[in-house]
Amino acid sequence: MTADKNFGLLFKMHQGAFYTRLLHEGIRLAVFDHLTQRMEPGPLAEKLAIHPRNTLFFLRGLVAIGLADTDKTGGFRNTPLSQKYLVQGSPSYLGEYLANHARWNQPFFQNMESILQSGPPEQELQADDEGIWAKEALGLINFQRTCTGPALAQIISSHPGFLDFSKMLDLGGGPGLNAMAVVGAHPSMSGTIFDRPAVTRVAREEIKKAGMEERIAVQKGDFTHDSLGKGYDLIMATACLNFVREDLGAMMKKIFTALNPGGVFISVHDGMTQNRTRPESIALSWLPVSMMWQELGLDRGDIAQACITAGFKTIQSRPLVYGLGTMELDMAQKP
């Protein structure tokens, strides 16, 4: 009798909750901080003040999902994956980023039945609540440091005119690590991070920690309504133009006007396909937002077409793979 491989896929989906809960409980307890070296369940349970016997089973669960290794004598330690991304204090620690995602999605998972039946719930916190944006900015610090910052710095610094740039704007720049990476790759360029007031406070602290106050400034405001300024050689927008998806044309014209002749605009965003069901990771990430609030996803080519309409001369588009999946990267140059 041959096993039904299709059902195996369904069963893997069914068991997905184990991966999620084990991962996030490990983050909450900071288990991975203690598994940087070999540790047995008993001493770990004592350190974390948790049940000794169930600590053993929990650790075995982490081994099963690839976040811990075990040896023949009953010791456990991190795998390379958990060692790199889940140990607090590491420059590549992404536990808080993942925890933020979990907190954001929790109301959706808890209320999916009623949301599907009755529609979006009443919003206790609005999308312009500064507390939400500040938390998101804090959670993005290491994500930008580890994922987006190095990728953007490498791509932009390879542009033929990069060394001639003198002034950059990071639109919706968040905590500022993207801007710091790009500016840090240039010998003299200065940059400005434009974002909401609560976010710019986070960015200012990160800039100070990095000792880059003389090269990077912050500008607080709402880029959907406020002036961007002018005279930029480079404008970046990373996963922020979704908020103007209904009026991309006007936003792109605004960006075009703010650039110097020959200036470059670069956007990293979701370029969705197949009726906004691919890439899988992006489609699933947008699902709670779409069902509880509004649809914000962008189709592949939306940004590029808006660039053409605004008057940009050359546009290069390509997929960019990091962290949360495959994104779309568009680079456009003003005549």
Tens-place pLDDT, residues 133-179: 788 898 899 999 999 999 999 999 999 999 999 999 999 999 999 99
Report residue 264 CA to chain centroid gap.
Answer: 23
* Helix then strand then coil, % of the chain, to nearest 5: 50, 20, 30
As a whole number, mean pLDDT of residues 231-252 equals 96
Task: Name the percent of the chain lying above pLDDT 70.
Answer: 97
Q: Name the DSSP class of 324.
A: T
What is the fold, at CATH topology level, of the domain defined by 129-333? Rossmann fold (3.40.50)
Q: Look at residue 27 and give its three-state secondary structure.
A: helix
Position 125 scores a pLDDT of 47
Residue type present at position 250: A
For 59-116, give the DSSP string: HHHHHHTTSEEE-TTS-EEE-HHHHHHSSTTSTT--HHHHHHHHHHHHHHHHTHHHHH
| For residue 207, pLDDT beyond 90 | yes
Sheet holding 167-171: strands in order across?
216-220, 190-195, 167-171, 232-238, 259-269, 325-333, 314-322
Which part of the chain has CATH 1.10.10.10? 5-90
Among residues 217, 207, 226, 134, which one has the least CA distance to residue 169? 217
> What is the phi-psi region of residue 221: left when phi exceeds 0, alpha when psi lies from -120 to 50, beta otherwise?
left
In the chain, residues under CATH classification 3.40.50.150 are 129-333
**Residue 301: which pLDDT band, with cuts at 50, 70 and 90?**
very high
* CATH number belonging to domain 5-90: 1.10.10.10
Specify the pLDDT at position 131: 75
| C-alpha distances out from residue 149 to 170, 192, 284, 305, 324, Å | 12, 15, 24, 26, 14
